[in-house]
């Protein structure tokens, strides 16, 4: 009993001291999606099919610039199509709005559409977003990504027009002019689905926009929202885990400033090449924590990496447990000591704890021998350009409630980085000017219909989405335990009841849209 009281007292002391310590500020500005950093031996496991689906792969010639009448080059847009269950000439068309990556990857991880298509007699189409996967202009990715003059056609407006042109062509070629189109999308794809429904209501009758942060622009939501939600995901599992992570940033910076610090950090975190700066390590860790919050699913998954169910719980279990072979009281003493002696053995101990935890994300299977910082197996790097042009999402980290180093959003610094990297100035008001965002409830209540905004509150992007019903046909489905577009994933035997019920609600709403469409179409046809 005495030992238990002593242990509890020391843990409380760690938390109290940790909360009062001033952290070092990060200098970088976070973007919506960075390149996913994968371990060097994990590429093969990521390419394995996760869902038994069938489709034809086809290509459609798209104009590079839809908004100019001057002769413009064409490029091949890849799309996946399945008509096995389609009721020819009358069944609906389910179209997934392609995200910032390889479309096959998204098709493999969007089982919900494939599962409900037979019920609706639907055609399934997965068009790829321009500049991603195999839908690359100018003949090669090297040429397309050469500079701002070639990348300048990579934006949401051009992508939505691609989808609209493709749907129009498919309807004509398949004699499907009477077939209603329902849009689906998750994350950025969910944003595109919602925006396409608003911009092209004559083409699509409704949209399921899952985890779509359409309000994460300008000053519509507080900039600290994203990282506060990430931090809360760890804090709710373990306050000591939260505080170990919060303390680790100063330890990393302190170690990095010593003569052999970068070499020590490289060895501690098992990188394949020596770190060039502590900022690279901070980005690597920050990415892992953010993605863990996004995919904090209640069952094992392989969407981003092979992960256990409730992965944050496992990360915190390992961080709290510490490296193997260390006694409980020794670990607690080292946790307290880190507040007084950053350059001593305690610093190494807390970093080993962090490695044990983050290893859940980067190497849960144990296959990786070392880690690369610049792997991009799903081809997501184009997002960095989009984030520097129209997808400007202000973010900051609060001193009190975030486990990340505190910093304020600095647009001037962000603009300098974009000029340096791409030679472009961001346009932070572009998205809200084109698609709206301010007073969204009033605008959509008057001018919108048939959109489902689904969000799980564990997902850090939920803070930038629509979390309240707007009208009878623009509804918000919010789940306490849901993570990043979990409703679009394939069903499993481990699905909790709330997820089964959420999907059933979505199916019912979609059925209503389609039924209304057929009734109205019949009336018009009879007239």
- What residues contact residue 10 under an 8 Å CB cut-off, 6+ apart? 329, 332, 333, 335, 336
> Bridge partners of 444?
none
The tokens for 394 are: 């202000």
**How many whole angstroms separate alpha carbon 169 and alpha carbon 312?**
45
Asked if 363 and 403 touch (Cβ cutoff 8 Å), the reply is no
* CA 67 to centroid of chain Cα atoms: 29
End-to-end CA distance of the chain: give it in Å, rounded: 84
Q: Assess whether 484 carries a catalytic annotation.
A: yes
Q: Quote the crossing angle between the two packed helices 311-321 and 225-235, to the nearest 10°.
A: 60
* Whole-angstrom distance, CA of residue 450 vs CA of residue 518: 15
497 is catalytic: no
Choose, from 102, 129, 135, 187, the residue flagged as catalytic. Answer: 187
CB atoms under 10 Å from CB of 58, counted, come to 15
Query: Which tokens belong to 488?
Result: 């679009």
Residue 459 is among the residues annotated as catalytic for this protein: yes
Catalytic residue among 102, 250, 459, 487: 459
The conformation of residue 308, written as its DSSP 8-state character, comes to -
> Given CA atoms 203, 208, 212, 215 in this order, what sign does their dihedral have?
positive
How far apart CA 173 and CA 167 sit, in angstroms, is 10
Nearest Cα to Cα of residue 482 among 282, 284, 229 = 229
Query: In angstroms, rounded to a whole number, what is the distance separating the alpha carbons of residues 465 and 471?
Result: 16
For 219-257, give the DSSP string: TSS-TTHHHHHHHHHHHTT-HHHHHHHHHHHHHHHHHHT
SS3 label, residue 45 = helix
Q: Which of 310, 378, 484, 485 is catalytic?
A: 484
Residue closest to 443 by CA, chosen among 418, 466, 415: 466
The residues annotated as belonging to the active site are: 187, 459, 484
């Amino acid at each position: 009993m005495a030992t238990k009281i002593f242990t509890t007292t020391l843990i409380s002391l760690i938390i109290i001291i940790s909360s009062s310590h001033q952290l070092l500020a990060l200098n970088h500005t976070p973007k919506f999606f960075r390149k996913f950093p994968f371990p060097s031996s994990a590429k093969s496991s990521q390419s394995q099919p996760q869902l038994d689906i069938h489709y034809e792969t086809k290509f459609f010639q798209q104009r590079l610039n839809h908004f100019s009448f001057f002769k413009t080059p064409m490029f091949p847009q890849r799309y996946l199509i399945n008509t096995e269950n389609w009721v020819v000439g009358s069944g609906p068309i389910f179209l997934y709005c392609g995200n910032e990556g390889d479309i096959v990857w998204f098709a493999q991880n969007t089982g919900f559409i494939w599962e409900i298509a037979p019920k609706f007699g639907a055609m399934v189409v997965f068009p790829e977003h321009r500049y991603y996967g195999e839908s690359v202009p100018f003949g090669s990715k090297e040429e397309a990504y050469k500079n701002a003059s070639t990348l300048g056609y990579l934006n949401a407006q051009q992508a939505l027009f691609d989808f609209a042109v493709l749907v129009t062509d498919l309807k004509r070629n398949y004699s499907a002019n009477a077939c209603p189109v329902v849009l689906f999308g998750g994350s950025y794809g969910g944003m595109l689905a919602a925006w396409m429904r608003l911009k092209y209501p004559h083409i699509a009758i409704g949209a399921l926009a899952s985890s779509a942060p359409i309000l994460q622009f300008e000053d519509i939501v507080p900039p600290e929202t994203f990282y506060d939600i990430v931090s809360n995901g760890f804090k709710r599992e373990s306050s000591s885990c939260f505080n170990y992570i919060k303390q680790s940033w100063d330890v990393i910076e302190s170690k990095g400033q010593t003569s052999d610090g970068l070499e020590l950090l490289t060895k501690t975190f098992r990188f394949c090449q020596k770190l060039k700066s502590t900022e690279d390590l901070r980005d690597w860790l920050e990415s892992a924590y953010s993605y863990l919050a996004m995919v904090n699913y209640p069952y094992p998954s392989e969407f981003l990496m092979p992960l256990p169910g409730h992965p944050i719980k496992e990360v915190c279990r390992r961080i709290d447990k510490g490296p193997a072979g260390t006694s409980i009281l020794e670990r607690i003493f080292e946790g307290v000591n880190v507040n007084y002696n950053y350059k001593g053995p305690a610093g190494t101990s807390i970093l080993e704890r962090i490695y044990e935890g983050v290893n859940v994300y980067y190497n849960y299977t144990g296959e990786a021998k070392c880690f690369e910082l610049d792997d991009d197996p799903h081809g997501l790097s184009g997002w960095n350009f989009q984030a520097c042009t129209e997808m400007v999402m202000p973010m900051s980290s609060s001193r009190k409630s975030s486990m990340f180093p505190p910093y304020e959003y600095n647009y001037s610094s962000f603009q300098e980085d974009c000029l340096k990297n791409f030679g472009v100035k961001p346009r932070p008001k572009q998205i809200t000017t084109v698609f709206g965002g301010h007073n969204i409830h009033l605008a959509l209540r008057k001018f919108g219909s048939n959109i489902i905004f689904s969000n799980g509150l564990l997902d850090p992007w939920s803070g930038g989405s629509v979390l309240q019903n707007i009208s009878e046909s623009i509804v918000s489905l919010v789940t306490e335990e849901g993570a990043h577009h979990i409703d679009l994933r394939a069903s499993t035997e481990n699905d909790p009841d709330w997820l089964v019920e959420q999907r059933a609600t979505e199916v019912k709403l979609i059925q209503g849209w389609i039924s209304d469409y057929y009734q109205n179409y019949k009336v018009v046809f009879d007239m």
